């Protein structure tokens, strides 16, 4: 049993230590970015809205809504680059809410990716969740499985997008109504599957699927074998994990912890982004949305502190201090002041007056 | 225990009947009182009535594990939820409606009155048609009659209200019915309970 992480700050510290322990290097990105970076790769972002301002040299700048783009655009050394970050990003979480500062921790593995590196990143995603809560689930998919099925039909872009949206919402009735031909049945079969990675993968392998889908299942099988080396029982297969196919076409995953109503971790392999930036190799990473852990925090404490000591006059201060220090030595939190605060609650309130300490 | 958000009104009552037939009854819900939540621990369900347009909010934010919502609400707010079943009740259409003889000459911006601005924008956006949205909260049919708008985008069940006001459905935007939706995280941590509910409801449809 690990103690549940209580705050986003605490989670950030725990996760940074985890990634450093696996040899990932800290990476600090600059606070502002050129706006063009985001306008050019808009679809890679989780949001279309970017907070912009004009710099003193007249260039349009942005408060970064995402960290991955900032990391990927920097020069890529030879071999494999493993970095982690802890940054604030600025974006609108829900339409109409306005921009918010959101703390985000994550890692990226870029360059000469091999099977081990892929497995390691997925394992670290799972361990990130396990470090935050005992009760967690990491859902893993490979977009090639679903895309392979869609490739078999001659579909318009619009219909493909609608099919992917239906898969993401586990909306089997919509899949049947879209007129996808033979793909509808296969997608409905894939969407219905959910459970532990290795076991559920066996069920997917038994489905009649086209070649590209089978190749993707093969990659998932290799991943499952590596994940089995670690004690991570809550890694599940779920084909409804669908990231933007403009950049993702491989392993994708999403993580949940009990108490948070939506995914707190999201990631995947985005080689296509690298290619669009004119770089070679592979790239895989994930981000943990620390603000979403606020929803999963323990209930608010009933009191603001253990003890409030109120003194009646200046001559009562020495006894008030003595009383407070004694309580602090016992590990209690103590506030001392003349009048009790109107909006705060304390487990005990003591009043010091004319050399006497009385409980209120 | 599964928390289930039901939409207040006729649709919610019909949806509860279906839930009860599927084995998730909670007799207390039928008692005339002002309570808002109803629980049957034996069946592992707690129901609560909320405004229909609020159902996806309760589900998306995890206050409800599952809920019954109209497809119109889901299309308008696009909540991040799983849409697990078409309950085939509350069946109607989202339509463009207007004077029966209305002709859109394409020469001017089309004025569209609606309670569903996102659906209207998406519909006309796909056609590349320039529109101006007039967001109303009720009695939409009156807008074209008083010249507030050219057309409306609204739910049409029988078309009787439109007909009585000299209006007619001009185009179907999308068919509508009630859906069983579920919170994404609840589907991970209460997977068996939600899957069983889905299967039992599915058998009745």
pLDDT in tens, B65-99: 999 999 999 999 999 999 999 999 999 999 999 99
Q: Say if residue A353's pLDDT is above 80.
A: yes
Q: What is the mean pLDDT of chain A?
A: 90
The C-alpha of A169 sits at a distance from chain B's nearest C-alpha, in angstroms, of: 4
Q: Say if residue A73's pLDDT is above 90.
A: no
Please indicate if any CB of chain B lies within 8 Å of the CB of A135. yes
Q: What is the mean pLDDT of residues A180-188?
A: 87
Q: Say if residue A246's pLDDT is above 80.
A: no
Residue A307: pLDDT band by 50, 70, 90 thresholds? very high
- List, for residues A34-64, the tens digit of each pLDDT value: 888 888 887 777 667 888 999 999 999 999 8
Residue A4: pLDDT band by 50, 70, 90 thresholds? low
Contacts of residue B185 in chain A, CB cutoff 8 Å?
256, 258, 260-263
Q: What is the mean pLDDT of residues A145-153?
A: 93
The C-alpha of A262 sits at a distance from chain B's nearest C-alpha, in angstroms, of: 5
What is the pLDDT, as a whole number, of residue A36? Answer: 87
Q: Where are the domains of chain A?
A: 8-135+258-296, 305-359
Q: Residues 140-169, chain B: which have Cβ within 8 Å of A?
A: none
What is the pLDDT, as a whole number, of residue A66? Answer: 85
Measure CB to CB from residue A169 to each of B61, B83, B188 and give the nearest one. B83
Contacts of residue A162 in chain B, CB cutoff 8 Å?
none
Strand partners, A253: A140, A267
User: Is the Cβ pair A256, B185 closer than 8 Å?
Assistant: yes
What is the pLDDT, as a whole number, of residue A49? Answer: 81
A88-92, A140-144, A266-270, B38-42 — which is least confidently predicted?
A88-92
Global confidence as pTM: 0.86
Contacts of residue A170 in chain B, CB cutoff 8 Å?
82-84, 187
Q: What is the mean pLDDT of residues A334-351?
A: 93
Q: What is the mean pLDDT of residues A331-335?
A: 95
Q: What is the mean pLDDT of residues A195-222?
A: 95
A125-129, A153-157, A351-355 — which is least confidently predicted?
A153-157
User: Is the Cβ pair B83, A135 closer than 8 Å?
Assistant: no
- Quickly name the fold that domain A305-359 has: Rossmann fold (3.40.50)
| C-alpha span between A186 and B117 (Å, rounded) | 35
Q: Residues 22-81, chain B: which have Cβ within 8 Å of A?
A: 60-63, 80-81
Measure CB to CB from residue B86 to each of A173, A262, A295 and give the nearest one. A173
Contacts of residue A173 in chain B, CB cutoff 8 Å?
85-86
Phi and psi at A116, nearest 5°, equal -60, -45
What is the pLDDT, as a whole number, of residue A3? Answer: 57
Contacts of residue A261 in chain B, CB cutoff 8 Å?
60-63, 183-186
Spell out the per-residue pLDDT of chain B, length 205, in tens.
999 999 999 999 999 999 999 999 998 888 877 888 899 999 999 999 999 999 999 999 999 999 999 999 999 999 999 999 999 999 999 999 999 889 888 788 999 999 999 999 999 998 889 999 999 999 999 999 999 999 999 999 998 989 998 899 999 999 999 999 999 999 999 999 999 999 999 999 8
Please indicate if any CB of chain B lies within 8 Å of the CB of A169. yes
What is the pLDDT, as a whole number, of residue A278? Answer: 86
User: Is the Cβ pair A170, B86 closer than 8 Å?
Assistant: no
Residue A75: pLDDT band by 50, 70, 90 thresholds? confident
Domain A8-135+258-296 has CATH 3.30.930.10: yes
| C-alpha span between B93 and B123 (Å, rounded) | 14
Contact (CB, 8 A) for A175 and A149: no
The C-alpha of A151 sits at a distance from chain B's nearest C-alpha, in angstroms, of: 24
Residue A324: pLDDT band by 50, 70, 90 thresholds? very high
Question: Chain B residue closest to A94 (CA)?
Answer: B79
Q: Which of A137, A166, A173, A233 is the best substitution to test chain B (most B C-beta atoms within 10 A)?
A: A173
Q: Specify the residue for token string 């700050």.
A: A9
Contact (CB, 8 A) for A284 and A113: yes
Contact (CB, 8 A) for A293 and A264: yes
Q: What percent of chain A has pLDDT over 70?
A: 97
User: Is the Cβ pair B189, A171 closer than 8 Å?
Assistant: no
Q: Say if residue A1's pLDDT is above 60.
A: no
Q: What is the mean pLDDT of residues A186-191?
A: 93
3-state secondary structure chain A: CCCCCCCHHHHHHHHHHHHHHCCCEECCCCCEEEHHHHHHCHHHCCCCCCEEEECCCCCEEEECCCCHHHHHCCCCCCCEEEEEEEEEEEEECCCCCCEEEEEEEEEEEEECCCHHHHHHHHHHHHHHHHHHCCCEEEEEEEHHHHHHHHHCCCCCHHHHHHHHHHHHCCCHHHHHHCCCCCHHHHHHHHHHCCEEHHHHHHHHHCCCCCHHHHHHHHHHHHHHHHHCCCCCCCEEECCCCCCCCCCCCCEEEEEEECCCCCCCEEEEECHHHHHHCCCCCEEEEEEEEHHHHHHHCCCCCCCCEEEEEEECCHHHHHHHHHHHHHHHHCCCCEEEECCCCCCCCEEEEEEEECCEEEEC
Task: Classify the complex by whether its ipTM is higher than 0.85, answering yes or no.
Answer: no
Q: Residues 201-240, chain A: which have Cβ within 8 Å of B?
A: 236, 240
Q: Which of A174, A193, A262 is the best substitution to test chain B (most B C-beta atoms within 10 A)?
A: A262
């Amino acid at each position: 049993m690990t103690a549940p992480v209580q705050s986003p700050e605490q989670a950030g510290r725990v996760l940074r230590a985890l990634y450093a322990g696996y040899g990932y290097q800290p990476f600090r990105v600059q606070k502002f970015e050129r706006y063009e970076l985001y306008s050019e790769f808009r679809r890679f972002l989780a949001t279309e809205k970017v907070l912009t301002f004009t710099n003193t040299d007249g260039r349009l700048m942005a408060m970064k809504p995402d960290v991955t783009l900032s990391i990927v655009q920097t020069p890529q050394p030879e071999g494999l680059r493993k970095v982690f970050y802890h940054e604030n990003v600025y974006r609108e979480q829900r339409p109409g809410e306005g921009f918010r500062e959101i703390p985000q921790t994550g890692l990226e593995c870029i360059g000469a990716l091999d099977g081990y590196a892929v497995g390691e990143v997925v394992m670290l995603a799972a361990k990130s969740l396990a470090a935050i809560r005992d009760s967690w689930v990491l859902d893993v998919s490979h977009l090639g499985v679903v895309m392979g099925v869609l490739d078999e039909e001659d579909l318009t872009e619009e219909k493909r997008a609608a099919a992917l949206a239906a898969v993401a919402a586990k909306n089997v009735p919509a899949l049947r109504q879209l007129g996808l031909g033979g793909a509808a049945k296969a997608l409905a079969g894939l969407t219905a599957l959910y459970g532990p990675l290795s076991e559920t993968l066996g069920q997917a392998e038994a489905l009649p699927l086209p070649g590209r889908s089978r190749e993707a299942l093969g990659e998932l099988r290799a991943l499952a074998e590596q994940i089995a080396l670690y004690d991570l029982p809550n890694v599940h297969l779920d084909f409804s994990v669908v990231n933007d196919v403009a950049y993702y076409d491989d392993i994708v995953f999403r993580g949940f912890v009990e108490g948070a109503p939506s995914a707190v971790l999201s990631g995947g392999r985005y080689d296509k982004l690298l290619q669009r930036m004119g770089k070679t190799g592979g790239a895989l990473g994930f981000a943990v949305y620390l603000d979403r852990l606020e929803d999963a925090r323990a209930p608010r404490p009933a009191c603001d502190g253990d003890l409030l000591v109120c003194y009646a006059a200046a001559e009562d201060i020495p006894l008030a201090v003595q009383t407070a220090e004694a309580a602090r030595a016992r590990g209690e939190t103590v506030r001392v002041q003349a009048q009790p605060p109107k909006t705060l609650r304390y487990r005990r309130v003591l009043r010091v007056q004319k050399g006497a300490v009385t409980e209120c | 225990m599964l928390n289930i958000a039901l939409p207040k009104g006729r649709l919610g009552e019909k949806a509860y009947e279906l839930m009860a037939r599927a084995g998730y009854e909670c007799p207390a819900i039928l008692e005339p009182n002002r309570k808002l939540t109803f629980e049957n621990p034996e069946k592992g369900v707690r129901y609560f009535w909320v405004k229909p347009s609020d159902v996806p909010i309760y589900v998306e934010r995890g206050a409800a594990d599952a809920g019954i919502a109209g497809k119109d609400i889901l299309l308008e707010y696009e909540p991040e939820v799983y849409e697990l079943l078409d309950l085939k009740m509350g069946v109607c259409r989202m339509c463009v409606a207007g004077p029966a003889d209305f002709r859109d000459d394409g020469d001017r911006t089309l004025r569209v009155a609606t309670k569903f601005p996102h659906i209207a924008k998406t519909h006309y956006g796909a056609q590349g048609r320039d529109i101006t949205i007039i967001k109303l909260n009720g009695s939409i049919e009156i807008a074209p009659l008083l010249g507030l708008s050219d057309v409306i985008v609204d739910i049409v069940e029988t078309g009787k209200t439109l007909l009585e006001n000299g209006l007619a459905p001009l185009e179907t935007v999308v068919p509508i019915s009630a859906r069983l939706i579920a919170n994404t995280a609840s589907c991970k941590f209460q997977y068996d309970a939600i899957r069983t509910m889905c299967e039992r409801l599915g058998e009745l449809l």
